Structure 1
Amino acid sequence: MPNKDVVSWTSLVTGYARNNHHEEALKLFCDMRLAGIHPDHVVLASALSACAELTVLELGQQVHADFVKSGLQSSISVDNSLVTMYAKCGCIDDASRVFDSMQIRDAVTWTALIVGYARNGKGKDSVRFYDQMIASGTKPDYITFIGLLFACSHAGLLERGRLYFASMEKEYGIKPGPEHYACMIDLLGRSGKLVEAEMLLNEMDVEPDATVWKALLAACRVQGNLELGERAAKNLFELESKNAVPYIMLSNMYSAAGKWEDAARIRRTMKWKGISKEPGCSWIEVNSRVHTFMSEDRGHSRTTEIYSKIDEIMVLIKEAGYEADISFALHNMDKEGKELGLAYHSEKLAVAFGLLSLPRGAPVRIFKNLRVCGDCHTAMKYISRVFHRHIILRDSNCFHHFKGGPCSCGDYW
């Protein structure tokens, strides 16, 4: 096309964003701005949605500033995208500020905030906003209840969760899907109600998918129910034959029960099937550049400084009372080797780099592709207290906000 206007650019940016090509969508948005094309509401909403999915906060803030400077009137599509973007990037207070400034709110607005608070370890706030949503006359939708039940699960609100789950179809005509059942099974499992969780699974109106079986397997691991855990794992082996997680979880359950031969058998099966665990990695954005780390990573240009900072961190937090939990380390090393291995986990390397690179007092935002290990979770509490930093760590499950020691998840993640 020799001449491209805002509609042309918007069509392409939105198309990429809606087809989960978020990085390409943002590159096109930047090209559009370099070409001197002023954005409209539609392309701004799409760009913000892409920022939310990629959790690129700095670029999202730039798009927000672009919108403010454009002189465009506020629109519900842009505002909803802003609430979602800030919530998914761990800036729940900024998401709430946008929400408070909105003159018009719909179900998407309320749901974005309810889900955002749930994912940021503030389940009771999710419940509070849900009550306000109902009081405002806005009807919840399918996604609202996923966020609400997730919030109940991670805040230990068993009776509230039961009430909301029962109200879905009875009051709002929303048939529960696999995601809702998974949240309820997770809630029941965390509360020690495995028998009730199994009964709910057997009564499902839809076929249990991998999400449901994963929730049950995780609950079995927490409660030490090996028999039911085996059933859940076997179903996952059929549904996701190449996913390493159920194999590893079952193997760990066998080990915890002292069934070493069964644990070894599961590991051999993984090897025979060519199934390998996804390597853990953590990343942090500094000055619009993403820095990625893996455990014991020495490929960064500032490796010497990072490892020196790690040594300083470990000395200071041990003085404050931290003790390494070597149960999360490799088993074929001595105690000292295990402690060193734990010190060089990817999230600890990322936080060390953040402390070196970010201005004094600035929050340290880290992202991890897997669930944060218990030792790193404990270490982050001490680091936030000793260095007087707000550390935001998002793992595969939720955000963890460490401020002055405690975590927003209440050690319930």
Structure 2
Amino acid sequence: MRDIGVDDFTYPSVLNCLTSKKDVKIGQSVHCRVIKTGFQGYNLIGNALVDMYAKQGDLSYAFKVFNTILDRDVISWTSAVTGCAHNGSHEEALKLFCKMRNSGVEPDQVITSSILSSCAELALLEFGQQVHANFMKSGLQSSLLVDNSLVTMCANCGCLEEADRVFKSMANRNVITWTALIVGYAQNGKGKESLGLYDQMILSGIKPDFITFIGLLFACSHAGLVDQGCRYFESMINVHGIRPGPDHYACMVDLLGRAGKLLEAEKLLDEMAVEPGATVWKVFLAARRKHGNIDLAKKAASVLFKLTPKDAVPYVMLSNMYSKADKWEDAAAVRKLMKSKCISKEPGYSWLEMNGKVRRFMSEDRSHPKSDQIYLRTSEVMGLIKNAGYVPDVNFALHDINDEGKEQGLAYHSEKLAVAFGLLYVPQGAPIRIYKNLRVCGDCHAAMKLISKMFCRHIILRDSNCFHHFRDGTCSCGDYY
């Protein structure tokens, strides 16, 4: 077409074709042609370039183009925001969305769906609810895209009743809709309900996909349903023709490992149809840690050291195993090895969202402006639950110090500080929603159960693995976590 000539409609068509190709060089060559032919100032072309670069995962180029667009419309902003969301830059997506609103541009269905998805990933329930409320006030008709993202956000924030309400109000549902709720039930400790929802989906004529089975196997794993999990795994291959991937195998290894079937888990790992990656080996290591098998844990850790040489997780897990077994010299040796390789552990922290602000807490951290009140309340709470039968589990204090020091360290774990803040400032009757970047320890789990009973509060704690709904002294996970 160079001999014929191109126009401002030709380039967007070409760039849209390139969004699915993971070859940024071809896109850059077209971009060069755009500049050479003097079309770089056209909004339609600029929007297509932003979209193309973002979908190819090159956000730096996407923003270089975005910043040159003078008269940005909703498509310009949507291309940038959805690009951030799809590439995992969720905080940046929210910042851009706020800038867009401040510039006077109203969101459409696509950008609303992307922002709700980012809120789901960041567990920002209040912000997501505000976005959806403003969308409804705008008079725009909802869409399957928006409703699916809303179901996912509610489920990811532990609001199963709201997710279920949205689901039931939807006139049309697809496999994404059903899967969002199946996964949501599984993550919130309702494994059997998750499986029941799957049966309803099949009866409705919707075929499951790759992700549906991850949700099902996760549900079986966290509910201890070994036989059912194995049947779902077989039906995925034999009935639905879905080839299992690393995530499915990780769920199966987790399912067997949690149930103490370590030999079966090891056999499955050896027979995997795909090369076991880091996720599978981490699950295998966690299973060995749970059942105290240090020798086999060392084997799994050594594999992970090679697969992910800069990942702190296997080092921390192995070190914690040694500490729990009072093998302090071995634990110190692992930490020394980490230090020699310049590997740093991700610090554990917890956070709450309240009144549009995120409050973050770290273990024994006093940087919060209300730290005096928070620590005083934490001490009061720990004293009250001790009188009710709580005994600190010093096995989760992973430092070689006396029991008194271990007990004090446990008392000020980040989730305990967060719940003390919640008891002080979250209105009575409203759930206290806490999020943590790592797994909740057994001592904090036991403490949360008693706190929920003594203070008559619904405490929702989402750790890196699943949700824990504490009510009346019990947890939705049934202590199987």
Over residues 174-206 of structure 1, what are the superposed CA-to-partner deviations in whole Å (9 max), with x where a residue is unaligned? 100010001001101111211111111111111
Instruction: Decide whether the 8 Å contact of 2:175 with 2:208 is kept in 1.
Output: yes
C-alpha separation in 1, matches of 2:398 and 2:250: 31
Structure 1 position 113 matched with structure 2 position 164: no
In structure 2, the CA distance between the partners of 1:350 and 1:259, relative to structure 1 (3 Å rule), is closer
Moved more, 194-203 or 328-337: 328-337
SS in 1 for 2:239: helix
Cα distance between partner residues in 2 of 1:230 and 1:223: 13
Counterpart check, 1:48 vs 2:106? no
CA apart distance, 1:97: 0.9
CA–CA separation in structure 2 for the residues paired with 1:138 and 1:3: 43
Which residue, 212, 236, 239 being the options, matches 1:168?
Answer: 236
User: Which residue number in structure 1 is paired with residue 224 of structure 2?
Assistant: 156
Give the 5 Å matches for 1:192-207. Answer: 192-207=260-275
- Rate the CA distance shift 1:264–1:27 in 2: closer, same or farther, 3 A: closer
Q: 1:322 aligns with which of 376, 383, 390?
A: 390
Post-superposition CA distance 1:89-111 (Å, at most 9, x none): 11121111111111111010011
Q: Paired residue for 1:220?
A: 288
Give 1:100's aligned amino acid: K
- Post-superposition shift, 1:274? 2.5
Q: Distance in 1 between matches of 2:122 and 2:321?
A: 34
Count of aligned pairs between the two proteins: 413
| Alpha-carbon distance in structure 1 between the residues aligned to 2:192 and 2:173 | 21
Q: Is residue 2:169 matched to residue 1:101?
A: yes
**Correspondence for 1:191:** 259
Q: Does 1:182 align with 2:235?
A: no
**d(CA) in 1 for partners of 2:399, 2:299:** 27
Return the alpha-carbon distance in structure 1 between the equivalents of residues 146 and 416 of structure 2: 36
Structure 2 segments unaligned to the other structure (5+ residues)? 1-68
| 1:17 matched to 2:85 | yes
Counterpart CA distance in 1 for 2:323 and 2:423 is: 37
Aligned twin of 1:31: 99
In structure 1, what is the Cα distance between the partners aligned to 2:90 and 2:156?
A: 14
User: Which residue matches 1:231?
Assistant: 299
Name the CA distance, whole Å, in 1 between partners of 2:398 and 2:273: 42
Between stretches 146-155 and 317-326, larger displacement belongs to 317-326
Q: 1:294 to 1:254 in 2, by over 3 A?
A: closer
Moved more, 250-259 or 73-82: 250-259
Q: Indicate the RMSD between aligned Cα atoms, in angstroms.
A: 1.6
| Cα deviations by residue, 1:47-91 (Å, 9 ceiling, x for unpaired) | 111111111111100011012212222210000000111111111
Q: Which moved more, 1:159-168 or 1:336-345?
A: 336-345
Q: 1:324 to 1:112 in 2, by over 3 A?
A: same
Q: Which residue of 2 aligns with 1:354?
A: 422
Partner of 2:316: 248
- Other-structure match for 1:131: 199
Q: Which amino acid letter does the alignment assign opposite residue 109 of structure 2?
A: H
Q: Distance in 2 between matches of 1:50 and 1:345?
A: 28
Deviates more, 1:319-328 or 1:365-374: 319-328
After superposition, what is the alpha-carbon deviation per residue over 1:230-288, rounded to whole angstroms, capped at 9, x for unaligned?
A: 22111111011122221232234445566555444323322322323221111111111
Matching of residue 3 in structure 1 with residue 71 in structure 2: yes
Structure 2 CA distance for partners of 1:171 and 1:356, relative to 1, 3 Å:
same
Tell which deviates more after alignment, 316-325 or 327-336.
Answer: 327-336
Distance 1:393-1:258 versus aligned 2 partners, 3 A rule: closer
Unaligned residue ranges in structure 1 (runs of 5+) = none
From 338, 353, 367, the equivalent of 2:406 is: 338
Query: Is the 2:449–2:470 Cα contact (8 Å) retained in structure 1?
Result: yes
User: Do the aligned partners of residues 2 and 209 (structure 1) sit closer, same or farther apart at CA in structure 2, a change above 3 Å counting?
Assistant: closer
2:247–2:279 Cα contact (<8 Å) kept: yes
Q: State the 1:412 CA deviation.
A: 1.1
TM-superposed CA distance for 1:392, in Å, is: 0.8
Q: Are the structure 2 counterparts of residues 244 and 5 from structure 1 closer, same or farther at C-alpha, using a change threshold of 3 Å?
A: closer
Alpha-carbon distance in 1 for matches of 2:109, 2:190: 31
Q: Which has the higher contact order (CA 8 A, sep 6+)?
A: 1
Aligned twin of 2:359:
291
Q: Tell me, in whole angstroms, the C-alpha distance in 2 between the residues paired with 1:196 and 1:144.
A: 24
- Cα separation, 2, equivalents of 1:199 and 1:332: 36
Distance in 1, Cα, partners of 2:132 & 2:260: 44
If the length of structure 2 is used for normalisation, what is the TM-score? 0.83
SS in 2 for 1:359: coil
